[in-house]
Structure 1
């Protein structure tokens, strides 16, 4: 496993910073090597090329991102509380790492098919978490029982994604985490059965 090697994390973290600052296309491998404090050749012991670095950044960082979300929602009983915790944690993690937010929201939107497929593979785990929250909510009688889980999951992910993208585009001038409550309010009220 390449991510067990000592300099792997160093290179991944350097890549996030360099790509956030310069954009993917202007981030030469030599720039990433310099930031990581390694020789150019060292990078090729871990990665095939620049694209492989970008994919690995996403796999590594999104893996940690999803794990933290899973750990937070496991403590919540109700599906609605799980949804709230997921939204807060989604925003908090990107707010805490503005460079990573630039990379995930802007630089990963590459049009290459192979890149998209790899990204979708990693995102599947996140979408499964959302699916399970929706199914729990339906089973618990909190959410409407006729929900099209795939469609609703897209809507939830799309909403969170757009809110983060907007924050990045506005140069992260306001507090992203402060928006979690309102985003949860709107999504939750669309899902919940309102008992009179």
Structure 2
């Protein structure tokens, strides 16, 4: 009697795990090769699947890049949220936000390049989920500004949205050479300098401090001596 052929068992992963594997592989390939040089076949090989499996979960390569970038923003928010609540003081809170973002860019320059060069220039960017995630991610700076104004630390005429744009614009400009593989930046120094400039520019002007009592008495004594000297000259 002919022996029945046995079927090879296929290890079927849950869809969530398969998607996670594909996105992890896509992130690696995109950051190594850049978007234009990355192929779906490269990602499939890295993930250990056939190309058709990728198209089951993602429309195309662009959709896959979009999802990878969204996951990165979610990672950054989840990493920074726990520590932010424990930070007190406007300078410290601004510094925490600036430092955290600089640190993320220093650790993942490839992803930062993809977002800046491939996704943000897209004419439909403002209608994407990535745009909404970016708004949520950058909301801390306007919150700090509004709270500082309410507490009498910052000027009332400060635009919170403008400050947000200045902070993230400064970060992008200071890291531009690094993202282009043309130089480095010092994380600690850059975070402190950006924070100092932004914080100092918003401070509410303070009235001059009152002169110490001894200094006032010394000035009065000097003035009295001068008046006496003038009086003696006039009487002589």
**Bin for the TM-score computed over the shorter chain:** 0.7 to 0.9
Q: Give me the whole-angstrom Cα distance separating, in 1, the residues matched to 2:39 and 2:187.
A: 31
The residue aligned with 1:11 is: 22
Q: Which has the larger Rg?
A: 2
Corresponding residue SS for 2:17: coil
- What's the offset of the Cα at 1:87? 0.6
Q: For CA contacts below 8 A with separation 6 or more, give which structure has more relative contact order.
A: 1
Q: 1:34 aligns with which of 45, 51, 61?
A: 45
CA distance 1:166–1:138, change in 2 (3 Å): farther
Aligned to 1:114: 124
Aligned residue pair count = 192
TM-score by length of 1: 0.85
Question: Alpha-carbon deviations, 1:75-98, whole Å to 9, x = none?
Answer: 112222111100111111221223
Mark the CA change 1:31 to 1:57 in structure 2 (over 3 Å): closer, same or farther: same
Structure 1 residues 110 and 37, CA gap change in structure 2 (3 angstroms): farther
Tell me which of 102, 105, 108 is aligned to 1:91: 102
Change beyond 3 A, Cα 1:99–1:81: same
Assess if the C-alpha contact under 8 Å between 1:92 and 1:177 holds in 2.
no
Equivalents in 2 of 1:103, 1:189: separation in Å? 33
Going from structure 1 to structure 2, the CA distance change for 1:120 and 1:108 (only over 3 Å counts) comes to: same
In structure 2, do the counterparts of structure 1 residues 177 and 45 end up closer, same or farther at CA, with 3 Å as the change threshold?
A: farther
- Deviations, residues 19-57 of structure 1 (Å, cap 9, x unaligned): 222221221111122222322122122211111111111
TM-score by length of 2: 0.72
Structure 1 residue ranges, 4+ long, deviating more than 6 angstroms after superposition? none
Provide the aligned C-alpha RMSD in A.
2.2
How far off is 1:128 after superposition? 2.0
